[in-house]
Amino acid sequence: MSSTDIILCIFSGLVFLALLLQGLALLAISRKVRELAADLGTLSTKLMKQVDALTLQAESLMAMMKSTTEKVHAVQQNVAAITSVVHNRVVEVDAFVNEATDVARMQMARFQDVIETTAGRIDETIGILQHAVITPILEAQAIVSAVRSGLDVLFRRRRFSSDRSHHDEEMFI
């Protein structure tokens, strides 16, 4: 055997050993891949079940959200309609209150004019009454009083003596 044959045998042995180790490694990798595939299969089954359950819950949630959205939309439309009606009523009430206030102010001004006119007429009537009725009555009363005083003086002088006149003078002082 020559040295090349020996080197060739050693290299061939090394190649055989490397191929054997490589085959064993591939066999171990193959077993691990099968185990992983089995684990992935059970895991994917579990995952699919959970995804299906989640999908059902999501669908029921979406249905509930759709129903709620429709109800909220209906409520929103009702609120908008009510707001519009209330706004219109408030505008009408405001217009009515403004009109009533204007009418009340006008009526109060008229009432004030009537009171002022009536007070003026009452003052005029009192003046006329005083001038036409009371003044002549006071004048007549003064005349009657003067006549009575004159008669009293006339009749007192005859009845009473000067003693009475002295008493009248004291009262005057």
Q: Answer yes or no: is 46 within a domain.
A: yes
Q: How many CB atoms sit inside 10 A of residue 26's CB?
A: 10
Range of the domain at 24: 3-156
3-state SS assignment for residue 173:
coil
Distance CA 46, CA 149 (A): 140
Task: Using DSSP, state whether 2 is helix, strand or coil.
Answer: coil
State which amino acid sits at residue 49: K
Asked if residue 66 belongs to a domain, the reply is yes
Report percent pLDDT > 90 for the chain: 60
Chain centroid to CA 142: how far? 76
What does the DSSP assignment read for 68-118?
HHHHHHHHHHHHHHHHHHHHHHHHHHHHHHHHHHHHHHHHHHHHHHHHHHH
| Residue 97 in domain | yes
| Band (156; pLDDT cuts 50, 70, 90) | confident
The C-alpha atoms of residue 47 and residue 42 are separated, in whole angstroms, by 8
Give how many domains the chain has, as a whole number: 1
Q: Distance of CA 160 to CAs 86, 140, 148, 151, 169, Å?
A: 98, 29, 17, 14, 14
Q: What is the DSSP letter of 161?
A: -
168 part of a folded domain: no
What is the overall mean pLDDT for the chain? 87
**Residue 170 binned pLDDT confidence (cut-offs 50, 70, 90):** low
In a domain, 32, yes or no: yes
* Assigned domain for 51 exists: yes
165 inside domain: no
What tokens does 15 get? 């190649």
Residue 162 lies in a domain: no
